[in-house]
């Protein structure tokens, strides 16, 4: 059973999945992009654990299990490996370690990407909950490109800052609340987290 500790520091696991980047053939862009986004988007305390691994299902599953069960991350985000090619096995690895599937996240990710490219329907991103006896985490697959990562998390805004399409991170703070994690405060100018009125705490 998970217990809520709202003053606990949010632990985020970031996993970049790429054969070539993990082999040093080119520099990984996924991890720096995610770190920069969270630095801008979060007001409440947070820390990260990072992994850079190849497109190997066993390695992905092991990394996800370690980040949740051992490092006790509350949120784990993967980038890369979600397309239709033979080496793209991130969704399969994610589902293999899951307790619950959260299909709304993947549906919204594809809706955001479809604003730009018709090939967004080829993306197979999923999101799941992994639970142990006393801990739970949300695991989400994101695209591999820095621009797509930002768009997926934030959504789309017009020139005046009005939200046109909602980003997926708006739903993450309340999801973490519901699975017993810490209270996440966001920078509303980047991405405003949404909660029902009864779940909102006074700002720090």
Return the CATH number at 153. 3.40.980.10
Alpha carbon distance 89, 55 (integer Å): 7
Report how many domains make up the chain.
Answer: 1
Residue 177, in any domain of the structure: yes
Residue 103, in any domain of the structure: yes
pLDDT in tens, 96-108: 999 999 999 999 9
Residue 199, in any domain of the structure: no
pLDDT band at 158 (very low <50, low <70, confident <90, very high): confident
Range of the domain at 136: 10-191
- For residue 5, what pLDDT is reported? 67
Residue 52, in any domain of the structure: yes
pLDDT band at 4 (very low <50, low <70, confident <90, very high): low
Residue 148, in any domain of the structure: yes
Any residues with CB less than 8 A from the CB of 129 and at least 6 apart, and which?
98, 99, 100, 102, 136, 137, 138, 139, 179
Percent of the chain having pLDDT more than 90? 82
pLDDT band at 2 (very low <50, low <70, confident <90, very high): low
What's the N-to-C CA distance of the chain in angstroms? 28
pTM (two decimals)? 0.94
CA atoms within 13 A on the CB side of 128: 22
Residue 197, in any domain of the structure: no
Q: How far is CA 186 from the centre of its chain?
A: 15
pLDDT in tens, 38-55: 999 999 999 999 999 999
Residue 113, in any domain of the structure: yes
């Amino acid at each position: 059973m998970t217990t809520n500790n709202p003053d606990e520091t949010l632990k985020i696991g970031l996993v970049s999945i790429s054969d070539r980047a993990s082999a040093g053939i080119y520099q990984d862009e996924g991890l720096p992009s995610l770190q920069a986004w969270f630095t801008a988007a979060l007001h409440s305390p947070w820390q990260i654990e990072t992994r850079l691994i190849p497109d190997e299902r066993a390695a992905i599953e092991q990394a996800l299990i370690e980040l949740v069960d051992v490092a006790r991350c509350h949120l784990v985000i993967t980038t890369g490996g979600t397309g239709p090619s033979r080496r793209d096995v991130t969704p399969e690895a994610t589902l293999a370690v899951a307790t619950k599937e959260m299909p709304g996240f993947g549906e919204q990710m594809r809706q955001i990407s479809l604003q730009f490219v018709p090939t967004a329907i080829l993306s197979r991103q999923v999101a799941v909950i992994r639970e142990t006896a006393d801990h739970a985490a949300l695991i989400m697959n994101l695209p591999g490109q820095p621009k797509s990562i930002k768009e997926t998390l934030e959504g789309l805004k017009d020139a005046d800052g009005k939200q046109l399409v909602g980003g997926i991170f708006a739903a993450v703070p309340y999801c973490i609340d519901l699975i017993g994690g810490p209270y996440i405060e966001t920078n509303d100018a980047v991405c405003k987290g949404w909660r029902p009125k009864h779940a909102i705490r006074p700002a720090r």
